[in-house]
Amino acid sequence: MEYPQHLCVVSPDESLREEVSRSFDSAGMTVQWVPDWAGLLGGAFSQQVCLLIDADLAAEEIETAAKAVSLWLSRRTMQGVIVARARRETGQEANNQLCDVLLQRADFLLDKPVGMDQLAFALQNMMRKHRARLSLTGGAAADKAPDDSRLWQFDPVAMVLIPPVGESFALSASEARLIAMLITKDPEPVRRQDLIELFGIKSPNIRRIDTTIYRLRHKIEQNTGYPSPFSTVHGVGYRNEGLSATVPLSF
């Protein structure tokens, strides 16, 4: 079973770093500990590192930290990003720009307290995906950027999504409804309340909505190698960023 050579644990919880070190010592993985955002943003990391980030890491200025972390992550190519966050009761989910940034970049989400078996599963799957990306790029880890002259196409009849370059892939019925709503609402964002109604959620469970969006983003990126064609609008919902339909839509 393959693990990353280097794992950086970004958390104030030193006991987590020690438990990870003990659990994966025999795997030959070097574990580094960064206790705060300043340590992460000021550190130098190679492309061979994986990050395990505590989503509940405190920040004095959430908006400023979100911009800095987003810029830092966008400028680096790594083996993967794992985000750990605390379980919360319905209606108590954190909702801020910093969490949104981490959800957008996460390869895996883990609930806290982090179980070592869950972490092992995430690390192994992340490495398999990393190797697959390398094989597609001939060994280069550089990110692909879509051609701005071509848009993503959504076929509501076949329920498939067609990237700017590459093969189409199938969507589930709920995913197709979400894509259709993003297109028909454009240029306005789709509100979280719209998604609660769309998915028939009886209580305003923001965590369930965020998880649904995360899974769709992950599916898109895994199938195409491109970032998902919609963005997060802090405190509101999600906005179309390049989706168009092959036939007129009514929603």
Of 87, 112, 136, the last residue of a domain is 136
Q: Are the beta carbons of 78 and 47 closer than 8 angstroms?
A: yes
Cα angle value 30/42/70 (rounded, 5°): 95
- CA-wise closest residue to 245 among 159, 165, 125, 172: 159
Residues 61 and 178 in one domain: no
Residues 126 and 191 in one domain: no
At residue 41, the pLDDT reads: 87
Q: For every one of its 251 residues, what pLDDT tens digit does the chain have, with 9 covering 90 and above?
A: 688 888 999 999 999 999 999 998 888 888 999 998 888 888 777 667 899 999 888 887 777 788 888 888 877 777 888 999 887 654 444 446 788 788 777 888 888 899 999 999 989 887 877 676 565 545 544 444 444 445 788 999 899 998 887 788 899 988 898 999 999 988 888 988 888 888 777 665 566 777 788 888 888 887 887 778 888 887 788 888 888 898 888 65
Q: How many domains does the chain have?
A: 2
Q: The pTM is what?
A: 0.59
Residues 92 and 41 in one domain: yes
Residue ranges making up the domain that contains 45: 6-136
- The CATH number of whichever domain residue 179 belongs to comes to 1.10.10.10
Residues 119 and 231 in one domain: no
At residue 126, the pLDDT reads: 78
Residues 212 and 110 in one domain: no
- CA-wise closest residue to 108 among 232, 231, 4: 4
Residues 131 and 219 in one domain: no
